[in-house]
Structures are given as C-alpha cells and as structure tokens.
Structure 1
C-alpha cells in the first residue's frame, strides 16, 4: 500500500468516527446504533473514493492527451465560462459513474475541447449526454449502432437499421422492463430517434428506434477508449 493510499484510508476512518460521534449517540444503545451505521458509512466512503479516483483519471487522461501541466490545465479551465463549464461538467459526470469506459470517454471529450475551442459547444453537448448514460444505456446504444436487428424477420415493413421495441426487449431479456426508460433517456439526449410504428405478422404494432448521428458520435468516444 502506498503512502497516499494509507493517508486516504486513515482519513476515511477518521471521517467515519467523526460522523458517528456527531450523531449524538451515547451509552450502550448509542454504541450499538453507531456500530450498525459504520458499515453503511464505510460503503459511502468507498463510493466517494471511487468518484475522486475517477476525477483523477480524467485529469490524467487530459494531461496525457494535451501535454498540459496541472497549472496550465487550471488556467485553461478558468479562462472562460464555457471552458469552466466543460471541465466541471466532465468532473461531475466522472464522479457519479462506476463505468470505466465512460470515465475515459469524458477525458477524451475534454481533451478535444481543450485542443480546439471550436469544438467547445459540441463537447458540452457530448458530456451532457454521457452524464445520463450508464452500462445499460451504452449496451443498448452499441447494439443499435453495431449489430443487425434482423427486425424484418418479424416486421416485414421495417426499413433500415430500425429497432422495434419488442426486438430490443428480445435482444436484452434482462432489461425487458427497462427498455422503455432506457430509450426515453437516449431520445431525450438526442442519441436515438423514434420512428413510425410497424406491424408484425400478427398485426401487433411496435415503436421503432434508430440511433442518430449524434448517438454514433457519442458511442465513438465510449468504444474508442475501451480496453
């Protein structure tokens, strides 16, 4: 264990002790309640530590891509409202995710924004979209972009690489009840668009979905930084 990791662990233990003491619990009952809360606080501390590590990984990725020192990066971020918004939005998104590929993608988007001010506005849109995406959304978007839906087998009138909702549910049975909110998120962020309903051979209708160009662009960051 490195010196930095040991300091962080001591700080976490200290924070937990302070938090439980701050509850004002005294005596045997207080000790029992505090003991039952400590594991939960430890989990929160672990999660917070992961978030801080994600932010550090974003900064590292940006420095490797741009060659900026920490001081130069700070000066860049503080030099305009747009740059500050991009940097802090990327940090907040990294802090709130457990998806390693998303952290790397955020670093790549931020680095491109640093290298080209003309991409600043688009970078902000991409970071906003990535903020809403977690593993389930990314899996569905990746399927829509990179695999054949074979929807024409059940829906003879479907055109292009459109995905009827029922086909998505069949592709991801573990997400069957979650496909609707997943697609709502992808649609809200402009990553997928809703098409006209289609009928299957039994006459049942299903909404169709198509990944947008912006969806392809966002997925490019997620897949090009994986592995």
Structure 2
C-alpha cells in the first residue's frame, strides 16, 4: 500500500469518527458546558470539580465508543467509513439503525456490547431486510448491563441441572426457575429479580409452563437466542442448535 493511499484511508476514518460522534451528540442530546457564575464557584469551593472532570472524561469515552462501533460495523460489513455514510444517507430506515447503534454505544458500552452492536450494524448493512429486526435487538441491548448478558447467556447455554428429563441431553438449555438461576449465579442473587424482569420485558425470556408444577419457570425466547448470536461469536451456530431443541 502506498503512503498516499494509507493517508487517504486514515483521513476517511478520522472523518467518520468525527461524523459519528456528532450523530451521537445529536441523538442522545448530551453536551458538556462549562459551569460559570455563582454555581460554578460553589462547586469549586465544595471540591466537586474532580467529579465533573470525571463526567467530562466519561462523555469523551462515550463519544469514542460510538465512533468505534460505527467503524467496526463498517469493517465487519466489508465497507469503508465513507461507504457507511453513503449507505445510511440513502434511506431513513438505514439512518435509524445507525442512530440506534450510536445511541446505544454512547450510553455506555463494554467491549462485549461494542462488538455486538457493531455486528448488528454490519448485519443491517449487508441486508436491508434485516434492518427492522436489528433495530429491535439494538434497542434491547441498549438497556442491558453486563449482568443481563451474563444471565441470558447462562440460561441459553449453561444448562440447568434441575431440569434434565431423559429425552434431552445433559447440559442442554431448558427451563429455569428463578431460584435455579440464583443458585447458578449467586453473585447476582440480590439483583436477579430486576435482571429477570428486564430480560422478560425486552422479550428475551418468557415464562413457560413447568412440568414440575412450580412457577415461574423461564425460557429463553427465539428473540433472546437471536440477540445472543451477535454477542457470542457472530455466527450463532451453537445458539441456533439449542433454540431448535
């Protein structure tokens, strides 16, 4: 690769990062402004300046996350950042998917969510027919903390030792009573009711009718399996096989 071509691509990437950061700021409505006047003086006197400096650093990191998701999404789809801009400009649905992805990354994203969001964006770039469903996945993922993903993954592929009828192989994901999830993930025990309620509200899990007469028993839904495939390895082969059991 010649130096000129590499420089040109770097310029394109930098332009894309700036553009996506601007989209994020518009979509989420976040803007850091200096605190002035008596209020600013009071904050300085009370020692709150370091806290607001942390908020400013967080805001910068959020913008970087949003830009990185867009850049990764373009790479996964095999297009350039410039192509991504052209692609999104051709349709309001495409713009909406990009805005949803940027919004979700801006709110706060660890590495797992960044990669998952980028895969969802790439999925929509590759196939317009996937955009509406991908947007639903993005909206669900936006409100998930790492603990939500941990619970969902364990319920989908961890296997419930309390629910092993002979017709199914040991370790296959099946039904989960709340107390079984709590037993499997004791470090999340205090927050588990909230985590399960959020997963239920997003459509990732649903209550099933237990063979054992206790309630509620939770099942990972096809929507939940579909979301997980973007968070695990992008192929979804193992998830799809379990979902078909």
Q: TM-score, normalised by structure 2?
A: 0.72
Q: Match of 1:135? A: 146
Provide the rounded CA distance (Å) in 1 between the counterparts of 2:88 and 2:109: 25
Residue among 213, 219, 222 paired with 1:210 = 219
Q: Match of 2:36? A: 21
Query: Residues 23 and 126 from structure 1, CA distance in 2 versus in 1: closer, same or farther, beyond 3 angstroms?
Result: farther
- The CA deviation at 1:172 is 1.8
Q: Match of 2:8? A: none
Mapped contact 1:166–1:206 kept (Cα < 8 A):
no
Q: Match of 1:224? A: 233
Residue aligned with 1:19, SS? coil
Mapped contact 2:77–2:122 kept (Cα < 8 A):
yes
- The CA deviation at 1:24 is 4.8
Residue among 77, 91, 105 paired with 1:80 = 91
Task: Provide Cα deviations, 1:35-80, integer angstroms capped at 9, x if missing partner.
Answer: x121111110121122111112112212212343333212221222
Task: Provide Cα deviations, 1:160-181, integer angstroms capped at 9, x if missing partner.
Answer: 7100001111112222232222
**Structure 1: which 5+ residue stretches go unaligned?**
5-14, 154-159
Query: Residues 217 and 21 from structure 1, CA distance in 2 versus in 1: closer, same or farther, beyond 3 angstroms?
Result: same
- The CA deviation at 1:195 is 1.5
Query: Residues 118 and 180 from structure 1, CA distance in 2 versus in 1: closer, same or farther, beyond 3 angstroms?
Result: same
Q: Match of 1:52? A: 63
Q: Match of 2:175? A: 162
State the aligned residue count: 198
Provide the rounded CA distance (Å) in 2 between the counterparts of 1:43 and 1:198: 51
- The CA deviation at 1:21 is 3.1
Query: Residues 136 and 56 from structure 1, CA distance in 2 versus in 1: closer, same or farther, beyond 3 angstroms?
Result: same
Q: TM-score, normalised by structure 1?
A: 0.78
Bigger Cα Rg: 1
Q: Match of 1:11? A: none
Q: What is the root-mean-square deviation in Å for CA atoms of aligned residues? A: 2.6
Query: Residues 150 and 119 from structure 1, CA distance in 2 versus in 1: closer, same or farther, beyond 3 angstroms?
Result: same
Residue aligned with 1:52, SS? helix
